[in-house]
Amino acid sequence: MQSLSVSSFCKRGVLLALGILLASGSHAQQQDFSKVKIEALKVRDNIYMLVGSGGNITLQIGADGVLIVDTQYAELSDRILAKIRELSKGPIRYIIDTHHHADHTGGNAKLRAAGMTVSGGNVGGDIADAGAGAQIIAHENALLHMTAPPAAGQPAIPSAALPTLTYFTPKKDLWFNGEGIRIMYEPNAHTDGDSIVYFRQSDVISSGDVYVTNQYPFIDIANGGSIQGIIAAANNIIDLIIPVYGQDGGTLVIPGHGRLSDIGDVINYREMLTIIRDRIADMIRKGMTLEQVKAAKPTQDYDPRWGASSGFWTTTQFVEAVYKNLSTAQGK
Partner 1 sequence: MNSLIRSVLLLALAAGSCLLSSAAMSEKNLAGVWVGTYSEDWPDRFPGPELGDYAGLPINDADRLRALSWSASLIALPEYQCRVHPSDYANSFADIRLWEERDPITEKLIALHLQHFAWQTRRTIWMDGREHPPEYAQHTSMGFSTGQWDGQVLTIHTTHLKEGWLRRNGAARSDKATVTEHFIRHGDILTWTVVVNDPIYLEEPFIRNRDYRYSVDNQVANYACDSVVEMVRAPGYIPHHLPGTNEDVKIFAETHGIPYKAAMGGAATMYPEYIKVIRSLPVPSPR
Residues interacting with partner 1, by CB under 8 A? 39, 41, 49, 51, 56, 231-232, 235, 238, 245-249, 252, 258-265, 267-268, 270-271, 274-275, 278-279, 282, 296, 298, 300-305
Q: Which is nearer to partner 1, 4 or 242 (CB)?
A: 242
Min CB(17)–partner 1 separation in Å: 29
Rounded distance between C-alpha atoms, residue 331 and residue 317, angstroms: 17
Min CB(304)–partner 1 separation in Å: 5
Min CB(310)–partner 1 separation in Å: 18
Contacts of 43 (CB under 8 A, 6+ apart): 49, 58, 202, 204, 252, 254, 260
Phi/psi at 54 (nearest 5 deg)?
100, -165
Q: Which is nearer to partner 1, 148 or 232 (CB)?
A: 232
Q: Which is nearer to partner 1, 9 or 245 (CB)?
A: 245
Min CB(212)–partner 1 separation in Å: 12
Burial of 257 (0-12, 13-18, 19+ CB in 10 A): buried
Q: Which is nearer to partner 1, 134 or 284 (CB)?
A: 284
- CA 309 vs CA 11, 189, 305, 306: distances in Å: 17, 23, 12, 10
Nearest to 65 by CA among 40, 49, 85, 83: 85
Q: Is there a contact between 182 and 230 (Cβ–Cβ < 8 Å)?
A: no
Min CB(14)–partner 1 separation in Å: 27
